[in-house]
Amino acid sequence: MQVDHVQDLAQDGPDLPWNMIALCPNCHALKTYGANQKKLRRLLAATARRLHAQALR
Protein backbone atom coordinates (compact mmCIF):
# COMPACT_ATOMS: atom_id res chain seq x y z
CA MET A 1 0.00 0.00 0.00
CA GLN A 2 1.07 3.56 -0.72
CA VAL A 3 -0.28 6.53 1.21
CA ASP A 4 -1.03 9.36 -1.20
CA HIS A 5 -2.50 12.83 -1.12
CA VAL A 6 -5.81 12.88 -3.00
CA GLN A 7 -5.21 16.50 -4.02
CA ASP A 8 -1.47 16.72 -4.61
CA LEU A 9 0.64 18.98 -2.43
CA ALA A 10 2.08 20.48 -5.63
CA GLN A 11 -1.48 21.57 -6.52
CA ASP A 12 -1.97 23.23 -3.12
CA GLY A 13 -3.55 20.16 -1.56
CA PRO A 14 -3.50 20.15 2.23
CA ASP A 15 -1.15 17.86 4.13
CA LEU A 16 -3.95 16.65 6.37
CA PRO A 17 -5.30 13.14 7.07
CA TRP A 18 -8.65 13.76 5.34
CA ASN A 19 -6.69 14.44 2.09
CA MET A 20 -4.75 11.16 2.27
CA ILE A 21 -5.67 7.65 1.24
CA ALA A 22 -3.88 4.29 1.00
CA LEU A 23 -3.73 2.87 -2.52
CA CYS A 24 -2.20 -0.19 -4.10
CA PRO A 25 0.53 0.67 -6.64
CA ASN A 26 -1.82 0.04 -9.58
CA CYS A 27 -4.55 2.35 -8.25
CA HIS A 28 -1.93 4.97 -7.38
CA ALA A 29 -0.75 4.91 -11.01
CA LEU A 30 -4.34 5.22 -12.28
CA LYS A 31 -4.94 8.19 -9.97
CA THR A 32 -1.77 9.87 -11.18
CA TYR A 33 -1.69 8.97 -14.89
CA GLY A 34 -5.02 7.34 -15.78
CA ALA A 35 -7.44 8.59 -18.41
CA ASN A 36 -10.17 8.96 -15.75
CA GLN A 37 -7.99 10.52 -13.06
CA LYS A 38 -10.32 13.47 -12.39
CA LYS A 39 -13.28 11.17 -11.72
CA LEU A 40 -11.12 8.84 -9.62
CA ARG A 41 -9.73 11.76 -7.57
CA ARG A 42 -13.29 12.95 -6.80
CA LEU A 43 -14.24 9.45 -5.65
CA LEU A 44 -11.07 9.10 -3.58
CA ALA A 45 -11.55 12.53 -1.99
CA ALA A 46 -15.09 11.62 -0.89
CA THR A 47 -13.92 8.24 0.41
CA ALA A 48 -10.98 9.72 2.33
CA ARG A 49 -13.20 12.35 3.99
CA ARG A 50 -15.82 9.73 4.92
CA LEU A 51 -13.28 7.30 6.38
CA HIS A 52 -11.50 10.05 8.30
CA ALA A 53 -14.80 11.25 9.77
CA GLN A 54 -15.67 7.68 10.84
CA ALA A 55 -12.29 7.27 12.52
CA LEU A 56 -12.90 10.38 14.62
CA ARG A 57 -16.14 8.98 16.10
What pLDDT is attached to residue 42?
93
pLDDT per residue as tens, the chain (57 positions): 999 999 999 999 999 988 999 999 999 999 999 999 999 999 999 999 998 888 888
The alpha carbon of residue 13 and the mean position of all alpha carbons in its chain are separated, in whole angstroms, by 10
CA distance 48 to 11: 18
CA distance 48 to 35: 21
Task: Confirm if 44 and 5 have CB atoms less than 8 A apart.
Answer: no
- Residue 44: CB atoms within 10 A of its CB come to 21
What pLDDT is attached to residue 55?
85
What pLDDT is attached to residue 10?
94
Task: Confirm if 41 and 21 have CB atoms less than 8 A apart.
Answer: no
